[in-house]
Structure formats: C-alpha cells, structure tokens
Structure 1
Amino acid sequence: MEPRNIYFVGIGGIGMSALARYFLSRGARVSGYDRSRTSLTDALSAEGASIFFEDALSSVDPAAEWVVYTPAIPATSVVLTYYRDRGVALMKRSDVLQRITADTFNICIAGTHGKTTITTLTAHILRHSGYGCTAFLGGISGNYNTNFWSSDNDVCVVEADEYDRSFLKLDPSLAVITAMDPDHLDIYGTAAAMEEAFIAFAGRIKPGGWLLSKHGLPRGAELAASQHLTYSLADAAASVHAEGLRAEDGAYAFDIVVPGGRLEGFVLHMGGRHNVENTLAAAAVAHQLGIKSHAIRDAVAAFKGVRRRFEYVLRTPSVVLVDDYAHHPEELRALLAGAKDLFPERTCTVIFQPHLYSRTRDLAAEFAAALDLADEVILLPIYPARELPMEGVSSGMILERMKNPHRRIMSKEALLAWAGAPAGASPRLIIMAGAGDIDALVEPVAEKLNVRA
C-alpha cells in the first residue's frame, strides 16, 4: 500500500523530484529536505510539496510513513539520522521505482549516455500520439516543463540509472541499452564489472520482452532477450538505422530503416548527430508498440528537447551559446563533434566543469582527448558532488594531458569576466558542459555575451 505521507531526503534531485511529483499526483502529502533552493524545488513547492533547506530537526515531518533518500546525502545527516533512529522505512529511489512499476508494462532506457534524451523523446512520442504513458525522466522535458507525467494507460517509461546498480531493481517489458562505457568506477571497480551489470539488466527483461541495444556494444552478444534488435546512426548492419541524413538550417532530416520497412520524412530540431541516433531508438520503441509512422514523425518534429541536452541558450550572428549536461568523455566527444558539424564556420570554445574527483582521476586522458576537439578549452574546478577531495586530483590532470595549446583553468569569477570582455569579429560557438553547478553560470554568461553580441 502506498503511503499517504512521504518524505524525500534530497528532494531537489532530478530523479527524486520525479518521484515526489508522482506522489503529489496521487494525492499524498509530500515533504522533503535539500541543501539549496533551486528552480526545481521552487516548482515542487508551487505544486504542493513542503521543502526545507536546513539539515536540522526543524526540517523533519514526524508523520512520514516512508522516507526516500539519495546516496548523495551523507549518512551523518541530521534528518536521515532522525528517521533511522525511529525505525521509519528508509528506501532508495530505486526501491520506490521498483514498487511503483511492479505490475505495469515497463519501457526502461539504460546506458552510460543518451538515456535521458531517449527516455524523454520516447515518453513524448507516446504522449503526443495519444498512446499515453506514465513517465519518470532524468531531465526536464522542453515540451512539458516537467520530469514526470501520468496517464490512464498502464505503461511506464523509466530512465534506468546504472549508478549504485539501481537499474537492477527494474523489470523491463521493453528495454534499451545505449552504451556500456566505463563510468561510476567508484561503485563498480572495473569496466568489466560494469558490463556485467548491464548484462544482468538485460536478463531482467520479462519473458517475451524486447531489447534494443546500440549496434557494436562490447559483449553485445551476451545481452539476452526474447527479441533483440540493434540500432545505429549509419551502420546498415544494425536492425534500425538512418538513411539520407542531412543538416538543414540547424535541424536534421532523415528516414529510418526498421525491420521490414521504412519510416520516412523525419525532421529533428535538436543539435548533434548523436541525437539523431537517440531518435532512432525512441522511434523504434514507438514502432514496436504499434504507433503509426506519421504519428511518430509528427511527435519527433514537435520535440523541443531536454533542458541541458544541446540546449540553445543564445543564437545571434556573432555567438551561439549551447548548454549541455555532458560529463563523460564519450558524451563530450559526441557533443563537440555534433556542434562542429552543425556550425562548421564558427570557432568552438568549450567551458567544461569536471564532475567527481574519482571520474576525473579515472578518465583524465579520455577527457583530454575529447576536449582537444574544440578550438579553445576553459576548465572550471572539479565539482565534488558526493565526494571529498582526493590528493593530487584536480582539473589540472586533464589540462596537462591535452594537446590543444588554447587551454586554461578559470575560476567562476574569472569566467564571468572573460564572458564580458571584448571579443574578435569571427562568429563563435560556445558550449558550457558539465553535471555540477555550471548550470547556474549559464544565464550570467549568456547575459554578458549578449551585451557584446
């Protein structure tokens, strides 16, 4: 039985807030704690949640029946300790998602990158076409300005998070695996162990279920399902791939080849060829569900993207500013390649904030190689998130491995001064990327650039 009174420790997180919205939609009393006020916590408050910003006894709700917490909250948290000492049921986000989706038809999208865009677009196609779904997203949909919605159709579209092995609590009816690149090695230890987790995730697909995976994944043959298809941007050996891809005025036009047919006339108003590939996966899922091709095509054309996924913040003749969540080397590589593909005539500057000391330590060389694709690189200090500083680990680890001579490290204050300084006459493309608090700098940078534009 679902609780009528539920408390979230870390309610402002993107995944946690989607669950909070679910319970608000069910008429439950929702409250929670987070360490800082954001536009997302403000939105939750407006929707009826009671949110506190001090880790103190004054922030607890003694009537809470369930307490949902994020691993990012320290075990010494006063709020968390209060509930633990009183024997209140403590659950991770994955535990709650497992309960919610226990008896539904589940479309679960997993992978080390691309999953937020594919999840959001899949859910958008189902909603736009009238098919209907309940959606738990890892980003804010540009079309609906939310990361959660529900419908009467007993179908859930869920972003399946590999962090902390959370996705191993889900039971997909249809599943997508986008990538299995090394990440979260603080959890898994080795790349092989991470790959094993994805193989285990595929093994949780329900009997008669269907798997769509990126063509050419390492150990892809070990991903088991009753039906297993693959997708690729251009490789005709994949079950699903694009043909006739061309860039047209900042958008992409293409057809989609699917088993036994062809879906024609697609237009995607979102930057980056990797997002065309993400569209192939979402369209293939919708096609598998029996949604008509014209309805899929119309939904894709109407898709406004996901906040912080190749999001245009500023577009003038002199400067284009793009904001993106990319925080893994392969995501950065795809982001920069896609941006330069769309804007080949502009010089490309990337402003990158590394996320986590452990990820920077483990992947410094890979970050350096990806960032070398840009014409100019500005690195911010590492955003620690849940981690304590590690001796010898800094943004300098990436800088010293780069070959691009136009690279430097800046403080946030120095970055704002740089954005307001006079620029040359050549048109520029500026990309701000990272999963930390760099998003708080996007609007101030945009304002200063716009004054100069």
Structure 2
Amino acid sequence: IEADEFDRSFHWLRPWMSVITSTDPDHLDIYGTKEAYLESFRHYTTLIQPGGVLIIHKNLEMKADVQDGVKVYTYSRDEGDFHAENVKIGNGEITFDFISPVESIKNVKLGQPVPINIENGVAAMAMAQLNGCNAEELKYGMKTYHGVDRRFDFKIKTDKLVFMSDYAHHPKEIYQSAKSMRELYKDKKITVIFQPHLYTRTRDFYKDFADSLSLLDRVVLCDIYPAREEPIPGVTSKLIYDNLKPGVEKEMIHKEDVLKFVEDNDFEVLVVLGAGDLDNYVPQIEKILEKRK
C-alpha cells in the first residue's frame, strides 16, 4: 500500500517493512512547519514492527528512529545498500544492474521504461528480495510491470507524437517527472498542461513549481483545483506563471478551454500534469490527437 502522510493518517499503520522515498515538505496546512513534517516521518519509523525492515532513500533530511530488531537499509539510483549500476537508456528501453547486499542481479529490464522508475524499481526490488523473491522472479516482475493509471501513463506513443498523463502534483515530483521526460525526449519539444492542486500548496511552493516546470519547453497553466479548500486572496496560477524562467513558452487558460487549445496546436510531446480533475479531459484529448498519428 501507499502510506499517506496527509493529516498524519500514516500513523495508523503498523508496517513490517516500509520504504520511504521522499520527505519533501508538503501539506503544510496540516503540519505548519517543515520541522513538524519531518518529525511526523520520524514517528512513522518507530511504528515498524520488531524483526521488520526500513528501506530509506539515502539522501533524505529526516532521521529514522526504529525499534530494536528493525534493520535499516539505504537505497537510491546511484548509491546506497541497494542501487543501480550500468544503466542503459535508448531505443525506448531501459536496463540496469541491480546492486544488493543480498544478491546482485544483472540486466534488469524495465517494463515501463521511464528513468525515474530506475530508482523506484531499486526500492521495489529491494523489498521483494528481502521478502524472499529470487532473481528470476524479480526480473520477470520488473519486465512485466507497465505502470499505474496517471503515473507516466502513456496514451499515445509514436515517433511522431507522444501524449501522456501524469499525477505529479508536488514540486519535487514534478521535477523528477520533468527530468525523466527530458532524458527520454532530449530532442523533442515538451508541452505540459498543468493544473495546480490546492491553494495552500500553490502559496507555499509556487517558486518551486516554477523551477520544476521550467525544465520543459512550453508550460500551459490552468486555474487551481481547490479540492477541500476555499480560495486564498492573491493565490492563483499566475504566481507560478510569473516565476517561470526566461525562455520558457508560457500561457494561462481556463480548464474549459483545454480541448480547444489542443485542437489549435501541434505537439511533439504533450503531458497533462497534476492531481486535480484535468485528467477527465484525457480521453477527449486522446481522440483529438489520434487523428494526427
């Protein structure tokens, strides 16, 4: 399962094994400060049962605090107890060697060949291996895993046109997604239609959003998706728009105008990004773009 730190709900869990991938501050409407957010993760690590395992990203700011009898391992793409080596990206494929203190495995092939999934794959393989999966099972699992809905979710993938949906909605998530897109499509123009999620998150991180989105070529911003929140005076998508780096093509449109925007423009790579309801338009966008394949 995915543990959710919103409203401290992950404190109800009593895991036997857990992976912590990121502790970049979020939900500051709940926690108030970065320090309180990190403390919440520290408390979560105390809930892992004795005899269990914590697999934690090597470069996190937080301090783990596990019970006696809990083993702690580190991981990342390039370093840690578990990591990848000999990474090869090309021709729509990604392979790497899985380095592990239990048993290293050569030539692992990703079924969803997206660069961020090298690191995600390392974490998943580490947990599976510590639960007894052998090398053959691990390689099969990675090769046949094709992703989940709205996480680098390819709808159209041809040499001429790529269209995908991605749920990333925190600046660091968007940075990793944008970095992966740029790695995959070095020579193509990448257009993103982004719908910010929550007024508080936009208020707290608009500069970080702008920095992450500036990795891409063209940024189209929709109005903020409010979810559970009421509007905050002065907090709109324009905060992000105004902080995008020079050289980035940018515009602001209403959600209702997205389909017309797609009809009126040509794309090499188009991404619908965010955790709001913009994804509801994805099937219609796909139909429009299918005619151009």
Bucket of the pairwise TM-score, normalised by the shorter protein: over 0.9
Report SS of the residue matched to 2:119: helix
Aligned pairs for 1:438-453 (under 5 A) are 438-453=278-293
Matched, 1:324 2:166: yes
Contact 1:314 1:446 in 2 (8 A): yes
* 1:258 to partner: Cα distance: 0.5
How far is the alpha carbon of 1:271 from its aligned partner?
4.0
Aligned match of 1:339:
181
2:96 corresponds to 1:254: yes
User: Aligned residue for 2:42?
Assistant: 199
CA distance in structure 2 between the aligned counterparts of 1:353 and 1:273, rounded to whole angstroms: 23
CA contact (8 A) 2:195 2:224 kept: yes
Partner of 2:75 in structure 1?
A: 231
State the Cα deviation string for residues 35-85 of structure 1 (Å, max 9, x = none): xxxxxxxxxxxxxxxxxxxxxxxxxxxxxxxxxxxxxxxxxxxxxxxxxxx
In the TM superposition, residue 438 of structure 1 has moved relative to its aligned partner by 1.0
Q: Quote the residue 1:280 is aligned against.
A: 122
Partner-residue secondary structure (3-state), 1:219: coil
Of 15, 18, 21, which residue of structure 2 is paired with 1:175?
Answer: 18
**Cα 1:371–1:191, aligned 2, differ >3 Å: closer, same or farther?**
same
Give the partner amino acid of 2:6: Y
Q: In the alignment, does 2:279 pair up with 1:435?
A: no
User: 1:57 — aligned with what?
Assistant: none
Match of 1:245 in 2: 87
Higher mean displacement: 182-191 or 314-323: 314-323
Count of residue pairs the alignment pairs up: 290
| CA 1:319–1:203: 2 relative to 1, 3 Å | same
Q: Structure 1 unaligned segments of length 5 or more: list them.
A: 1-157
More relative contact order, 1 or 2 (CA 8 Å, 6+ apart): 2
Match of 2:9 in 1: 166
* RMSD of equivalent CA atoms: 1.4
Aligned to 2:155: 313
Measured in 1, the distance between the counterparts of 2:181 and 2:121 equals 17
Q: CA deviation at 1:196?
A: 0.4
Looking at structure 1, the residues matched to 26 and 211 of structure 2 have their Cα atoms a distance apart, in angstroms, of 16
Q: Cα–Cα, structure 1 residues 411 and 431, in superposed 2: closer, same or farther, change >3 Å?
A: same
* TM-score, structure 1 normalization: 0.62
Matches of 1:223 and 1:243 in 2, distance apart? 29
Please give the alpha-carbon distance, in whole angstroms, between the structure 1 residues aligned to 2:46 and 2:54.
10
Residue of structure 2 equivalent to 1:19 = none
Provide the rounded CA distance (Å) in 1 between the counterparts of 2:57 and 2:114. 17
- For 1:413 and 1:219, locate their aligned partners in 2 and report how far apart those are by CA, in whole Å: 41
> Are the equivalent residues in 2 in contact too, given 1:234–1:243 (CA < 8 A)?
yes
1:269 is paired with a residue of what secondary structure?
coil
For the residues of structure 2 that align with 1:306 and 1:444, how far apart are their CA atoms? 20
Cα offset for 1:219? 2.6
Distance 1:422 1:325, change over 3 A: closer
Deviations 1:2-58 (A, max 9, x none): xxxxxxxxxxxxxxxxxxxxxxxxxxxxxxxxxxxxxxxxxxxxxxxxxxxxxxxxx
Q: 1:166 to 1:341 in 2, by over 3 A?
A: same
**How far apart, CA to CA, are the structure 2 residues paired with 1:452 and 1:410?**
23
Give the percent of matched residue pairs that are identical in Structure 1 and Structure 2.
Answer: 38
- Structure 1 residues 189, 229: CA separation in 2 closer, same or farther (over 3 Å shift)? same
- Superposition pairs of residues 37-436 of structure 1, within 5 angstroms: 158-220=1-63, 222-225=64-67, 226-235=70-79, 238-404=80-246, 405-423=248-266, 428-436=268-276
Shift of 1:265: 2.1
Query: Aligned partners of 1:300, 1:178: CA distance in 2, in Å?
Result: 18
Q: Which residue matches 1:47?
A: none
Query: 1:165 and 1:336 mapped to 2: Cα distance?
Result: 28
Deviation of 1:180 after TM superposition, in Å, equals 0.4
Give the 3 Å change call, closer, same or farther, for CA 402–422 of structure 1 in structure 2: closer
Query: Cα distance, 1:442 vs. partner?
Result: 1.0
**Which structure: larger Rg?**
1
Give CA-to-partner distance per residue, 1:279-316, whole Å, 9 cap, x none.
11110011101111111110110112111100101123
Offset of 1:260 from its aligned partner?
4.4
Q: Quickly say closer, same or farther: Cα 1:407–1:422, change in 2 above 3 A.
A: closer
The residue type paired with residue 168 of structure 1 is: H
| CA drift at 1:251 | 2.5
| Secondary structure of the corresponding residue to residue 321 of structure 1 | strand
Cα displacement (A) at 1:243: 0.7
Whether the 8 Å CA contact 2:23–2:62 is kept in 1: the answer is no
Amino acid in the other structure paired with 1:395:
S
Task: Note the C-alpha offset of 1:422.
Answer: 4.9
Q: What secondary structure sits across from 2:19 in the alignment? A: strand
TM-score for both structures, normalised by structure 2: 0.95
